Amino acid sequence: GESVGLHLPTLSVQEGDNSIINCAYSNSASDYFIWYKQESGKGPQFIIDIRSNMDKRQGQRVTVLLNKTVKHLSLQIAATQPGDSAVYFCAESSGYSTLTFGKGTMLLVSP
């Protein structure tokens, strides 16, 4: 079936930099997208979501961009902190379908 994928398995940044994590999805019917943060040995933690009728949504230090034309989703983290180090997953769903998770990107933030 269709799945969500990520371009970069690991992203290393310096503290204070802005981070961009990318995600490509293939299901053109997907209408809801979520970014999760997962720290080692813990469950996913909701960061931010976006519906397909939007192309940008901002939260605290995070922004999600959605480009439906190329089926691309990105998560921008401003002023990255060591506490942001984790694996980030995008997930998508269509209507009331179950979530499909992408492969994940590990973000490593150096002090």
Partner 1 sequence: GAVVSQHPSRVICKSGTSVKIECRSLDFQATTMFWYRQFPKKSLMLMATSNEGSKATYEQGVEKDKFLINHASLTLSTLTVTSAHPEDSSFYICSARDRWEDSNEKLFFGSGTQLSVL
Contact between residue 19 and residue 84 where contact means Cβ atoms under 8 Å apart: yes
If one asks whether residue 45 binds partner 1 (CB under 8 A), the answer comes out as yes
For partner 1, which residue of 24, 49, 57, 72 counts as binding (CB under 8 A)?
A: 49
If one asks whether residue 43 binds partner 1 (CB under 8 A), the answer comes out as yes
For partner 1, which residue of 8, 22, 27, 32 counts as binding (CB under 8 A)?
A: 32
Applying CB under 8 A, the site for partner 1 has a residue count of 22
Q: Based on CB atoms, which residue is closest to partner 1, 25 or 36?
A: 36
**How many Å separate Cα 71 from the centre of its chain?**
13
If one asks whether residue 96 binds partner 1 (CB under 8 A), the answer comes out as yes
- What span, in angstroms and rounded, lies between the C-alpha atoms of 6 and 105? 7
